[in-house]
Structure 1
Amino acid sequence: MKTISCNRLETERLRLRPPGGGDIGAIVPYCGDPRVGLKMSAMPHPYRTSDATGWLDELARDRKTGAVRAFAIERKDEPGMIGVISLMLRPDRCSAEVGYWLGVPFWRRGYMTEALREILRHGFEDVGLLYIGACHMAANSASGKVMKKARMKFENIVEGGLCRDGVLHDKVNYGLFADEWRTNP
C-alpha cells in the first residue's frame, strides 16, 4: 500500500472532502430520516446531534491512524454536504470496505455512483489497494444498484449477516479487485 495523504477528491459534479463540525446541520437531519438511518446497520435511530459529534470525533481519531478515509460529498454547483462515503482499510492494509449514505433529496441523480467510482479509483490508484468490498442490507436494493453501476461484482448473500436493532437481516456482499478495475477503469 502506498503512503498517501489525500484529503480532497473531485469528480465532474462532486467534491469529496473531510467532514467537519460545520456539517452537523446536514448530518443530523439526513441520518435522522428513517429512509437513510434504518438502512444502515450501525447508524443509531433516532439520530441526534450527539451522535454526529461522536462520529466526527471517531473519524478524527481514525484519520490519525489512517484506518478510515471518510469524505463528505458535496455538489460543485451548490456547496453543502449531501452525504458521506468512507473507505475503511482492513488490518492487512491491502484491502478495504467502502460504506456510504446519501441524503434523501439527492437520491436517484447518480451522485452516489459517481462518488463510489471515485473512491474505487482512489483506493486502487492512489492508495494501492488490491481489493475493495462493500455490503448492504438485502432490503436496500438501491444500494446494490449503485455498487453494480460502479462495476462492483456481486459475491454472495449471508443470511442474517447484519443486525439492526436486535433483528437479523440478510447481508449482500459486493467486491472489486484492482486487476478488474485496471482492465476498464
Structure 2
Amino acid sequence: MNYNRIDRTVETDRLLLRLFQPEDAYEVRDYCNNYNIYRSTLTLPYPYPLECAVSWMATHEQNFDLDRMYEFAITDKTSGQLYGAVGISNHQSYHNGELAYWIGEAHWGQGYGTEAARAVIEFVFTEKNYHRVYARHFASNPASGKIMQKCGMSYEGTLKDHIYKIDSYEDIVYYGIVNPEAQR
C-alpha cells in the first residue's frame, strides 16, 4: 500500500483508491441500483436514483478533511475503471473504525473488495493510528465475510435476527482486527 497525502489516494498492486469525483455519480447510481447489492447492504436504498449518489458523494471530502470518515472509490490503477467503494469511519475517542465496502456486481469474484479492504486497514493502522478495525455483514452474504477473513479479521460474534429487511430478519456477523503494532 502506498498512501499519497497530497491527493489522498491509496495505491495497491492493481487498484487506485481515490476520492469520488462528480463524474462518478452515474456509475455509482448504475452499480447501486441493483437489487443484489441492496439486499446485502444495511442502508443502501432501492431503487437508487442519481440524487442518492450525488448527495452521498457530496459529504466525502469534508468527512475526510475532518477525520470523520475516509471513503474511497475503488478504481483500476491503469484504466481508471470504477469497481466500487470502500470506506471506514473514525471513532477517534475509541481509536477504531468500522470498515464497509461494496463492489459492482459485474466485478464480483475478482478480489477487488479484498485488495481494497486490506489497503484501507493498512492505511488507518499506519497513517491514522487506529488500534482496531471492525466490520459486519449479513449472514446471508457470506462472500463479504470471506473478504473480512482474507484481511486477517477474526470472527467476533453474531447478533441473531438483528436487522429486519425485505420482510425477514437478518443475523449480523461481526469481525475485527487489532493493529499488530498497537501498544497495550
* TM-score between the two structures when normalised by the length of structure 2: 0.90
Helix, strand or coil at the partner of 1:66: coil
Task: Using the TM superposition, give the Cα deviation of residue 72 of structure 1 relative to its aligned residue in structure 2, in angstroms.
Answer: 0.2
TM-superposed CA distance for 1:37, in Å, is 1.9
Q: Residues of 1 paired with 2:37 and 2:61: CA distance? A: 23
- TM superposition shift of 1:155: 0.5
Verify: 1:151 aligned to 2:152, yes or no: yes
Counterpart of 1:74 in structure 2 is 75
Moved more, 127-136 or 20-29: 20-29
Q: CA deviation at 1:152?
A: 0.7
Mark the runs of 5 or more structure 1 residues left unpaired by the alignment. none
- Aligned partners of 1:9 and 1:93: how far apart in 2? 24
User: What does residue 95 of structure 2 align with?
Assistant: 94
Match of residue 128 from structure 1: 129
How many angstroms does 1:93 deviate by?
Answer: 5.0
Q: What does residue 178 of structure 2 align with?
A: 177
Partner of 1:118: 119
> Which letter does structure 1 place at the counterpart of 2:57?
L
Report the AA paired with residue 112 of structure 2.
Y
State the secondary structure of the residue aligned to 2:130.
coil
Partner of residue 11, structure 2 = 10
| 1:44 equivalent in structure 2 | 45
Q: 2:70 & 2:94 partners in 1: Cα distance?
A: 13
Structure 2 alignment gaps of length 5 or more: none
Q: Secondary structure at the match of 1:45?
A: coil
Contact 1:41 1:163 in 2 (8 A): no
CA apart distance, 1:54: 1.3
CA distance in 2 between counterparts of 1:168 and 1:41 reads 12
The CA deviation string for residues 140-168 of structure 1, in whole angstroms up to 9 with x for no partner, is: 11000111111111100001223435753
Question: Matched residues in 2 for 1:20 and 1:53: separation?
Answer: 10
Contact persistence 2:154–2:175 (CA under 8 A): yes
Alpha carbons of 1:167 and 1:5: their partners in 2 closer, same or farther (altered >3 Å)? farther
Between Structure 1 and Structure 2, which shows a larger proportion of helix residues? 1
Whether the 8 Å contact between 2:19 and 2:61 is mirrored in structure 1 is no
In 1, are the aligned partners of 2:40 and 2:138 still within 8 Å (CA)? yes
Q: Helix, strand or coil for the counterpart of 2:161? A: strand
Whether the aligned pair in 1 keeps the contact of 2:68 and 2:89 (CA below 8 Å) is yes
Matches of 1:64 and 1:117 in 2, distance apart? 22
Task: Give CA deviations for 1:8-54 in whole Å, capped at 9, x if unaligned.
Answer: 00000000000121111210011011111221110001100011111
Number of corresponding residues = 178
Q: Secondary structure at the match of 2:127?
A: helix
| Local SS of the residue matching 1:108 | coil
Q: Does structure 2 conserve the Cα–Cα contact (< 8 Å) formed by 1:42 and 1:164? A: no
Superposition TM-score, scaled by structure 1 size: 0.89
Q: Secondary structure at the match of 2:119?
A: helix
